Amino acid sequence: METETTDKKPRGKMTFIVTISIITVFIIYYSVMSMISPVRKLEEIKNEFGAKTAEKNDVDQRILMDSTYLKLLKEKAFLQSRIAMAQTDSIYLTLDLADSTANIEISGVVVHKSKMKSLKTSKILMAGNENVILSMLATPFTISHAFATIKKEPVMIKMAPKDTSEYKPDIMPDTSITEPVNYILEMNGGIRIYIYQEETVKFSDRISHLSFDLNDRLRDTWNALKSVAVLKVPEYHPFIKIRLPRTEAKIIYRAIPKNGQIAVFS
């Protein structure tokens, strides 16, 4: 009996050590793959948009270091993107990160302007290769998917009265006025635009934001784990995160089409 008990202890200890070793190796492997992910994304952007940049001589290199020249290139890319969207005769969104404004436009005319209260962008969009990023921004992004805490098109089901005597006016309050507004617009190419409401007046506002952000992180983690499990580098999503007043955020989300377009000026 004593020998059997003694044998069980080393086996249990060995199993524990093997389990911890496997978990440790997986964590290290997952971390390495996650660090490679942004680099891989930048390479994808370079491969797609870098070919449009002509070969540069020594003079070109000096010009490209000039801040005034870069500013003109940014303005040109932004205008090209806006012109492309204006030709669609559809509502679209422009984000002027330099001016901290989000604008709803139709045919080149700004019909609604909102001031950003805070702004955070992925380093890959701000500190990457200037010419490649500008080439990418010269083409408008198209919304491929969206996650939101509010409905895109609110629907109210009403029973039609048989005659005027049965008619009753709507007396239910509009709860959409105070409901938390947070959403993610995922673009073609994997870029994501996060728009959160500025207000955190009520406790439910904070809970909604935390829950929404947690669900997004869990989705990303799950997708990353699935990629790592089949020896693939997880997909990295460059991001732009902004905060707007609740009403402004809601107007923008419901104004732009489901597969609408967005132009960004950095």
SS (H, E, C) 104-163: EEECCEEEEEEECCEEEECHHHHCCCHHHHHHHHCCCEEEEEEEECCCCCCCCCCCCCCC
Report whether pLDDT(176) > 60: no
pLDDT digits over 209-240, tens only? Answer: 899 999 999 999 899 888 888 888 888 899 99
In a domain, 244, yes or no: yes
pLDDT of 112: 94
SS3 39: helix
In a domain, 164, yes or no: no
Contact 196, 242 (CB under 8 A): yes
Q: Count the domains in the chain.
A: 1
Helix boundaries (H) for 153-242: 203-229
Report whether pLDDT(17) > 50: yes
Structure tokens at 128: 């990457």
In a domain, 167, yes or no: no
Report whether pLDDT(248) > 80: yes
pLDDT of 158: 57
Report whether pLDDT(177) > 80: no
Report whether pLDDT(120) > 90: yes
Report whether pLDDT(64) > 80: no
pLDDT of 113: 94
pLDDT of 31: 78
Per mean pLDDT, which range of 82-86, 163-167, 182-186, 245-249 is the poorest?
Answer: 163-167
Degrees to nearest 5, angle at CA 97 with 210 and 214:
15
pLDDT of 168: 57
Which residue is listed with tokens 């955190």?
A: 200
In a domain, 168, yes or no: no
Q: What is the CATH number of the domain that holds 250?
A: 2.40.440.10
Q: How many CB atoms lie under 10 A from the CB of residue 262?
A: 21
Tell me what the mean pLDDT of segment 43-59 comes to.
61
Instruction: Name the DSSP letter for residue 178.
Output: T
In a domain, 163, yes or no: no
Cβ contacts of residue 262 below 8 Å, gap of 6+? 92, 93, 94, 95, 140, 141, 142, 143, 185, 187, 193, 256
Which residue is listed with tokens 């086996």?
A: 11
In a domain, 93, yes or no: yes
Alpha-carbon distance 121 to 241, whole Å? 6
- The rounded mean pLDDT for the chain is 81
Where in the sequence is the domain holding 205, given as residue range(s)?
A: 2-158+176-265
pLDDT of 196: 95
Contact 215, 184 (CB under 8 A): no
Report whether pLDDT(250) > 80: yes
In a domain, 16, yes or no: yes
Per mean pLDDT, which range of 43-52, 99-108, 212-221 is the poorest?
Answer: 43-52
In a domain, 137, yes or no: yes
